């Protein structure tokens, strides 16, 4: 998704997302709860099978299996071992439906996937069913990006059911908003969701979830959240009746990020917590920042509404850009980023080693950075994954976009991806270690979060506990090294240590385990 504001500022730009972001807020500043809370309310430490490490990828940018310059379903399957080794348990596929644009948020047919993602070799067709089968063999779940708020103006519904569309809100860029006051629309979208669950998908990332009922296409104060909640509860109930263990995460992207917590009323399993970027950024830059207290406070805003809620934790995605690089000219994106290895390493550690579902944007484990010679647009963070080298140069992925659509990708180390994977000091190796620790730890996924007090000056930390284990995460965001002595088992440390004494360097951290 992307702001309607950008469409007004850049009318010639074919934007690449469908998020509506607005500076207006439906929750006043006075209504925000800014008090810092010390523990989660309520404490829930049971195993939740929907708590997983997710990897968001764009099919066309991830891996090309047949050399035509466009990523495909078979290309993803060819890299499943890469994902499982990284510690990934689920994949979020950005839109795969038939569409007109490169960004694919302008769906032309809800019951077809984009044919360019299919590969046929001999008599074998490598389509989404092949992808689902192979993912499930490796216990990787797959969720589909479902664009439910609007369709392409080329969708058959525009001609067959013109009364299904809203007269008050129209999404720019050749897309139109659906009218959810129409029973036919509500029922049609239930059928779409049920169809894909029956086809084998494990759930959905719901695009523009807050915008179904709005009187204006860009004014967040005109959104009717109560009507949104009511329909989403109805829709989610229908999905759970079709596949009880499906995972549903809604995107509520607004200038006031706290609004996402209120959507714990909507029947979802999760919404994305876009405050994570700010908390992580400030934590790595300022040792006095109360990262733990701020995070607990935000989690409680959702958990007080739904005790089973799982907040999604993204540092990067196709809307907000990459945390690993500066994106100039982004009207609505928060200016939080880190471009050096130590900062990125700590930022990702703070994001992974916290309760909630970690969402990794493809290439973030390599510190991927993308460029687009034509200037600002979201192509800069949709560039191809540089598996075979440390750099790619692509034209065909974005054919016809503002000239030749040329983009490039590089990785933080300047080496090849394979070299990073074999380098124990690389960002990739750190994230792989932490993701696998979280993958196998219920305490991190579902445990109670508490701040650690009485640490040496300059150090910060917190614990995550269930009934069998306590995980401690201690970090140093000062500019000096600090000695830390510990008695528990070290699962990971950024420095070598002897006899349970560790000299934590600037931006260093340690993960400890205590079995109960």
Question: Which residues partner with 107 through β-bridges?
Answer: 99
Of 393 and 159, the one with more pLDDT: 159
Which residue has 């730009």 as its token pair?
Answer: 13
**What pLDDT, on the 0 to 100 scale, is given for residue 9?**
27
What is the model's pLDDT at position 391? Answer: 73
For the chain, give the percent of residues with pLDDT over 70: 86
Residues in the chain: 516
Cβ of 290: how many Cβ atoms within 10 Å? 16
Among the listed residues 89, 72, 464, 62, the one whose alpha carbon sits nearest the alpha carbon of residue 247: 89
Please name which of 221, 161, 217, 216 lies closest in space to residue 189, comparing C-alpha atoms.
Answer: 161
Residue 267's pLDDT band (cuts 50, 70, 90): very high
Total Cβ atoms within 10 A of residue 274: 25
Rounded Cα distance between 331 and 21, Å, is 10
Does residue 211 contact residue 149 with C-beta atoms inside 8 Å?
yes
3-state secondary structure 503-516: EECCCCEEEEEEEC
Report if pTM > 0.75: yes
347 Rama class: left (phi>0) / alpha (psi -120 to 50) / beta = alpha
Task: Write out pLDDT tens, residues 1-55.
Answer: 543 333 322 222 333 444 554 433 333 333 444 567 777 766 666 789 999 999 9
Lowest mean pLDDT: which of 7-11, 217-221, 327-331? Answer: 7-11
Q: The dihedral of CA 169, 171, 172, 176: what is its sign?
A: negative
Distances (CA, A) of 203 to 62, 94, 236, 342, 499: 21, 13, 10, 35, 47
How confident is the model at residue 68, as a pLDDT?
84
Q: Which helix (H) or strand (E) holds 495?
A: none
Radius of gyration of the chain (CA): 22
pLDDT digits (tens, 9 = 90+) for 499-512: 899 999 999 999 99
- At residue 38, the pLDDT reads 72
Q: Within 10 A of 461 (CB to CB), how many other CB atoms are there?
A: 20
């Amino acid at each position: 998704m992307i702001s309607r504001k950008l469409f007004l500022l850049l009318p010639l730009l074919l934007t690449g997302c469908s998020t509506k972001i607005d500076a207006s807020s439906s929750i006043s500043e006075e209504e925000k709860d800014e008090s810092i809370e010390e523990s989660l309310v309520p404490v829930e430490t049971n195993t939740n099978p929907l708590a997983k490490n997710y990897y968001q990828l764009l099919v066309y940018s991830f891996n090309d299996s047949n050399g035509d310059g466009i990523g495909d379903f078979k290309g993803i399957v060819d890299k499943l071992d890469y994902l499982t080794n990284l510690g990934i348990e689920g994949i979020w596929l950005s839109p795969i439906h038939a569409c007109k644009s490169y960004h694919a948020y302008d769906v032309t047919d809800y019951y077809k996937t984009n044919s360019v993602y299919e590969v046929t070799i001999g008599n074998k067709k490598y389509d989404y069913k092949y992808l689902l089968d192979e993912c499930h063999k490796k216990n990787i779940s797959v969720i589909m990006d479902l664009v439910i708020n609007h369709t392409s103006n080329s969708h058959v519904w525009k001609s067959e059911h013109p009364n299904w569309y809203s007269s008050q809100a129209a999404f720019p860029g050749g897309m139109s908003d659906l009218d959810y006051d129409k029973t036919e629309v509500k029922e049609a979208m239930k059928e779409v969701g049920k169809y894909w669950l029956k086809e084998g998908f494990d759930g959905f990332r719901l695009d523009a979830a807050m915008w179904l009922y709005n009187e204006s296409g860009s004014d967040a104060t005109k959104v009717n959240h109560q009507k949104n909640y009511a329909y989403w509860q109805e829709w989610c109930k229908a999905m759970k009746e079709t596949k009880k263990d499906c995972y549903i995460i809604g995107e509520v992207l607004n200038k006031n990020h706290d609004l996402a917590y209120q959507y714990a009323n909507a029947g979802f399993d999760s919404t994305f917590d876009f405050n994570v970027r700010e908390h992580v950024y400030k934590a790595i830059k300022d040792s006095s920042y109360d990262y733990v207290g701020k995070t607990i406070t935000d989690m409680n805003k959702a958990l007080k509404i739904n005790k089973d809620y799982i907040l999604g934790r993204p540092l990067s995605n196709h809307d907000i850009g990459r945390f690993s690089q500066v994106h100039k000219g982004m009207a609505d994106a928060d200016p939080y980023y880190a471009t050096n290895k130590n900062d990125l390493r700590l930022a990702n550690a703070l994001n992974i080693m916290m309760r909630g579902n970690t969402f990794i944007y493809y290439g973030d484990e390599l510190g991927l950075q993308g460029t687009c010679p034509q200037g600002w647009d979201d192509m800069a963070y949709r560039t191809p994954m540089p598996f075979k080298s440390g750099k790619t140069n692509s034209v065909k992925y974005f054919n016809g976009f503002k000239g030749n659509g040329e983009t490039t990708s590089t990785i933080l180390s300047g080496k090849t991806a394979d070299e990073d994977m074999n380098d124990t000091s690389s960002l990739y190796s750190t994230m792989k270690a932490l993701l696998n620790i979280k993958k196998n730890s219920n305490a991190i996924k579902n445990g109670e979060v508490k701040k650690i007090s009485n640490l040496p000056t300059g150090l910060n930390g917190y614990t995550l506990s269930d009934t069998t284990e306590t995980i401690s995460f201690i970090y140093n965001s000062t500019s000096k090294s600090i000695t830390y002595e510990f008695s528990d088992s070290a699962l990971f440390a950024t420095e070598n240590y002897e006899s349970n004494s560790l000299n934590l360097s600037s931006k260093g951290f340690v993960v400890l385990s205590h079995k109960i």
